[in-house]
């Protein structure tokens, strides 16, 4: 059976393990994948910057409480943040760089600025992949 180049669709001649018909097709695919992943990073950075600017404009001095809709109306995206901080009481703060927020009661949001002491309770993630044999990490 003829093998086809995934980039241009031409039939591949030559070695069995050849994936692309030519170096040109191989480079082209590589460059497109690179551009795509860079675009993902740029898109996410854009959301994070916007979130940061919205929080910054609320000018949190210590702690500022605002209605949640004030953020959403400005296009704040609650799905994106850079890191988390958990307080002694177990409340989570979600940060976009040095500005953060926490969910408060009655549709309110507490906005804070990152403080030096928070480095001690920064939430760090550890990703474990389950072993399908034992069903244990």
CB under 5 A: which stretch of 14-22, 39-47, 48-56, 97-105 binds Zn ion?
A: 14-22
User: What are the C-alpha distances in Å from 137 to residues 86, 123, 125?
Assistant: 25, 20, 15
- What's the min distance (Å) between Cβ of 52 and Zn ion? 43
Q: Residue 8 interacts with Zn ion (CB under 5 A)? A: yes
Region class of 22: left (phi > 0), else alpha (psi between -120 and 50), else beta: beta
- What's the min distance (Å) between Cβ of 31 and Zn ion? 14
At 102, which helix (H) or strand (E)?
A: strand 99-103
Q: Residue 19 interacts with Zn ion (CB under 5 A)? A: no
DSSP state of 14: S
CB under 5 A: which stretch of 2-10, 68-76, 90-98, 115-123 binds Zn ion?
A: 2-10
Q: Which residues bind Zn ion (CB under 5 A)?
A: 5, 7-8, 10, 21, 25
């Amino acid at each position: 059976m003829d093998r086809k180049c995934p980039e241009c669709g031409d039939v591949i001649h030559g070695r069995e393990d050849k994936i692309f018909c030519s170096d040109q097709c191989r480079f082209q695919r590589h460059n497109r994948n690179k551009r795509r992943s860079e675009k993902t990073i740029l898109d996410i950075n854009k959301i994070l910057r916007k979130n940061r600017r919205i929080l910054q404009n609320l000018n949190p001095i210590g702690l500022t409480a605002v209605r949640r809709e004030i953020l959403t109306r400005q296009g704040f995206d609650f799905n994106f943040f850079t890191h988390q901080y958990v307080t002694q009481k177990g409340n989570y703060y979600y940060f976009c760089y040095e500005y953060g927020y926490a969910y408060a009661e009655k549709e309110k949001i507490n906005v804070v600025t990152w403080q030096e002491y928070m480095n001690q309770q920064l939430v760090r993630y550890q990703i474990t992949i389950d072993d399908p044999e034992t069903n244990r990490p």
